[in-house]
């Protein structure tokens, strides 16, 4: 066994580390300003915490952060009047990479009087300050501690070489002065700095003021005062009871730049251990063809982290817009971290529950308003039910379907309650109110309700409902003829069957005979429900280039119809020519009531119509 003769730690040479920091610390260089302003916010939060513990008494304070652009000097300065640093603290926290003062502070003052973890300290890692070197040739820190210790000044170049001096700074707090590098000249433009601040700091918990040194140094009416760019108490940090409907709508339009009002929203205030807040909005879509693209903004203690974080929202809710403030996530969160984090999955589960609760609440307490927006949210609801069984179990009583006859919106239970005496455990539906009007009319004549399921997703969704309720069947109005429509069975007329096969051009056409209560309709086309659903599913999921999978419809001849009896008379009178013409017309009408005719079918149908008119 070899003898252990020496122990040590890996040293880091700043000469080699700083070029890496400048190039690779963040993929988006603009984040540097978020980091420096966040550190300033931390400095104020720490001092407030010490005040609350009675360790310092400062009286009433006007806490603030100032971001000052000086184009003449080529500098950008971020100043705060927070806790400040002594010379020892400056050496400890600034001159040692990745030794975060926030971590040490939290460990010391991590719990409040009730024992709960403290919130509000933003910086949980020590590289944030060094992001300033991504855009600066030199960085100067001037700071004075709340303890009254002498002020100190620290100057460091882009190679990591620094010097420390005594400072004549009199006010408590810290200023970070960044001498912007020549190749980052855009950062010396007012619009650019405001753009970054508005993106990352719009809801920072400490007032953030921006000013252009040239404007604030002017005299008289030309002098421009610093402009506050943030709202320190964003809507999601308030209690829902303190927010009005107009507050929610205004916040939505401000954050997401949408001129339309949202349909509704869910205000989330999850307590420990989840510990996150937010507002989720259901946006109003202009049409079925408008792209469904959501946007969820992730914040960390009111500091913007990232746009459109899909990992914290379930897939079926990705069309939503909202803000989530999650202090349990690190400020430098990555997508791989989110994808593999248990806390994130719990957030997603909680959001699903809150959305379900909101839907049920609207359904139960204000159904009229709920019905007004339901058509706009039904795609979200149905897709969610198909993707998440728990979501379906929660909201299935709030899923609505329109009546094809009256337009009234009904739940499955409401439909079955009215239908139990006529067709128990059967739900009849149509997918096209115009094309299937004849079928709808036949059911309406018998006092049966027909639901309208116009979207492709509707017909996929009903399988989810059937799987949840044993014995329940959805049947399209052109599926097998229900007993309520019949006056009885009828015998086959084999000669007419052969004629129908001939005029249809389909030797395998299935023809059956039934006496219907509707005496005006000579024949209808029926298609097996399961076969048609399979065909629809194949069309829905088919890959590009694949043809449609055709369904197989059968002809149901109505022996109660006067036209049938007329065709039967032609056959008995051996007038096969007239019988054939009439059978062709009956078949074409049945197909026309079942689906749209093909070009060849329409051409043939019209030719038959013209010929029929000549015979009149």
* pLDDT digits 0-9 by tens, 354-366: 999 999 999 999 9
**Residue 610: pLDDT band by 50, 70, 90 thresholds?**
confident
Burial of 23 by CB count in 10 Å (0-12 exposed, 13-18 middle, 19+ buried)? exposed
pLDDT of residue 545: 43
Alpha-carbon gap, residue 119 to 109, rounded angstroms: 11
Given CA atoms 465, 467, 468, 469 in this order, what sign does their dihedral have?
positive
- The token pair at 509 is 């056409």
Alpha-carbon gap, residue 85 to 95, rounded angstroms: 13
Kindly state the average pLDDT of the residues 485-507: 89
Lowest mean pLDDT among 324-333, 368-377, 503-512: 324-333
Kindly state the average pLDDT of the residues 137-141: 95
> Which pTM does this prediction carry?
0.80
Alpha-carbon gap, residue 462 to 322, rounded angstroms: 30
pLDDT of residue 61: 87
- The token pair at 363 is 């359904």
**Residue 602: pLDDT band by 50, 70, 90 thresholds?**
confident
pLDDT of residue 17: 61
Structural domains of the chain ordered from first start:
14-226 (3.30.565.10), 235-374 (3.30.230.80), 487-527+550-616 (1.20.120.790)
Which residues are 488's β-sheet partners? Answer: 515
19, 121 Cβ separation under 8 angstroms = no
Q: Is the pLDDT of residue 549 over 50?
A: no
* Cβ contacts of 478 within 8 Å, gap of 6 or more: 436, 439, 524, 525, 526, 527, 594
pLDDT of residue 130: 84
**Residue 331: pLDDT band by 50, 70, 90 thresholds?**
low
Alpha-carbon gap, residue 262 to 249, rounded angstroms: 7
Listed in order, strand segments (DSSP E) in 214-318 are: 227-228, 264-270, 276-282, 295-300, 303-306
pLDDT of residue 616: 56
Give the Å distances, CA to CA, from 534 to 75, 459, 542: 68, 11, 12
Within 13 Å, how many C-alpha atoms sit on residue 582's CB side?
Answer: 20
- The token pair at 183 is 């190749």
* Cβ contacts of 328 within 8 Å, gap of 6 or more: 274, 275, 276, 343
Higher-scoring residue by pLDDT: 140, 124: 140
Most confidently modeled of 48-57, 240-249, 307-316, 602-611? 240-249
Mean residue pLDDT of the chain comes to: 85
pLDDT of residue 498: 93
Kindly state the average pLDDT of the residues 331-337: 63
Alpha-carbon gap, residue 483 to 111, rounded angstroms: 72
pLDDT of residue 305: 85
Lowest mean pLDDT among 236-240, 308-312, 333-337: 333-337
pLDDT of residue 102: 44
pLDDT of residue 573: 81
pLDDT of residue 20: 64
Convert the pLDDT of each residue in 443-481 to its tens digit: 999 999 999 999 888 888 999 999 999 999 999 999 988
Higher-scoring residue by pLDDT: 118, 453: 453
Looking up tokens 């909201």 gives 395
CB neighbours of residue 416 within 10 Å: 18
Convert the pLDDT of each residue in 80-113 to its tens digit: 999 999 999 998 888 766 444 444 544 554 555 5
pLDDT of residue 123: 44
Alpha-carbon gap, residue 85 to 106, rounded angstroms: 16
Q: How far is CA 317 from the centre of its chain?
A: 4
276-282 vs 264-270, strand pairing mode: antiparallel
pLDDT of residue 547: 46
Q: Is the pLDDT of residue 255 over 80?
A: yes
Q: Is the pLDDT of residue 552 over 90?
A: no
Q: Is the pLDDT of residue 291 over 60?
A: no
pLDDT of residue 329: 77
pLDDT of residue 84: 95
Q: Is the pLDDT of residue 124 over 80?
A: no
Q: Is the pLDDT of residue 185 over 80?
A: yes
pLDDT of residue 188: 95
Q: Is the pLDDT of residue 344 over 60?
A: yes
């Amino acid at each position: 066994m070899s003898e252990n003769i020496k122990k040590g730690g890996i040293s880091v040479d700043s000469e080699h580390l700083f070029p890496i920091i400048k190039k690779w610390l963040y993929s988006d260089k603009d984040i540097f300003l978020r980091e420096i302003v966040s550190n300033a916010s931390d400095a104020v939060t720490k001092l407030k915490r010490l005040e609350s513990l009675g360790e310092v008494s400062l009286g009433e304070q006007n806490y603030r952060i100032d971001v000052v652009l000086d184009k003449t000097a080529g500098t950008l300065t971020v100043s705060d009047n927070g806790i400040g640093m002594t010379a020892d603290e400056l050496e400890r926290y600034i001159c040692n990479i990745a030794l975060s003062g926030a971590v040490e502070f939290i460990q010391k003052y991590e719990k409040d009087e009730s024992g709960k973890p403290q919130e509000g300290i933003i910086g949980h890692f020590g590289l944030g300050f060094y992001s300033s070197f991504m855009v600066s040739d030199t960085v100067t820190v001037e700071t004075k501690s709340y303890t009254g210790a002498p002020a100190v000044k620290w100057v460091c170049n882009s190679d990591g070489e620094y010097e420390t001096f005594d400072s004549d700074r009199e006010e408590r707090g810290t200023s970070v002065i960044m001498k912007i590098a020549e190749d980052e000249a855009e950062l010396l433009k007012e619009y650019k700095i405001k753009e970054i601040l508005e993106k990352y700091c719009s809801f920072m918990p400490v007032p953030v003021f921006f000013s252009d040194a040239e404007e604030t140094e002017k005299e008289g009416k030309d002098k421009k005062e610093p402009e506050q760019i943030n709202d320190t108490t964003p809507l999601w940090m308030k209690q829902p009871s303190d927010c009005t409907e107009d507050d929610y709508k205004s916040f939505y339009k401000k954050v997401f730049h949408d001129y339309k009002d949202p349909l509704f929203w869910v205000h989330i205030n999850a307590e420990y251990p989840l510990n996150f807040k937010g507002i989720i909005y259901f946006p109003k879509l202009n049409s079925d063809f408008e792209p469904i693209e959501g946007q969820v903004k992730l914040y960390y203690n009111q500091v913007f982290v990232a746009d459109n974080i899909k990992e914290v929202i379930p897939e079926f809710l990705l069309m939503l817009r909202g803000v989530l403030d999650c202090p349990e996530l690190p400020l430098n969160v990555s997508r791989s971290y989110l994808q593999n984090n248990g806390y994130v999955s719990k957030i997603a589960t909680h959001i699903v529950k809150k959305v379900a609760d909101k839907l049920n609440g609207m359904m139960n307490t204000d159904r009229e308003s709920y019905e007004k927006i339901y058509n706009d949210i039904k795609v979200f609801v149905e897709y969610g039910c198909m993707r998440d069984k728990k979501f379906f179990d929660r909201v299935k009583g709030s899923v609505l379907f329109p009546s094809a006859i009256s337009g009234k919106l009904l739940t499955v239970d409401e439909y079955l309650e009215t239908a139990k005496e006529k067709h128990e455990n059967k739900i009849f539906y149509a997918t096209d109110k115009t094309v299937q009007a004849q079928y709808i009319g036949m059911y309406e004549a018998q006092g049966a309700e027909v639901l309208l399921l116009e979207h492709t997703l509707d017909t996929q969704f009903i399988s989810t409902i059937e799987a949840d309720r044993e014995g329940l069947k959805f049947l399209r109005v052109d599926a097998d003829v229900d007993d309520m429509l019949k006056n009885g069975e009828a015998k086959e007329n084999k000669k007419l069957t052969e004629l129908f096969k001939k005029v249809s051009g389909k030797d395998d056409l299935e023809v059956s005979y039934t006496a219907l209560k509707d005496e005006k309709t000579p024949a209808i086309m029926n298609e097996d429900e399961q076969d048609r659903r399979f065909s629809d599913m194949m069309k829905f999921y088919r890959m590009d280039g694949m043809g449609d999978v055709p369904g197989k419809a059968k002809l149901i001849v109505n022996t109660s119809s006067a036209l049938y009896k007329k065709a039967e008379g032609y056959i008995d009178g051996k007038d096969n020519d007239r019988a054939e013409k009439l059978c062709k017309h009956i078949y074409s009408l049945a197909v026309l009531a079942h689906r749209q005719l093909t070009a060849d079918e329409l051409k043939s149908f019209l030719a038959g119509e013209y010929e029929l008119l000549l015979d009149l």
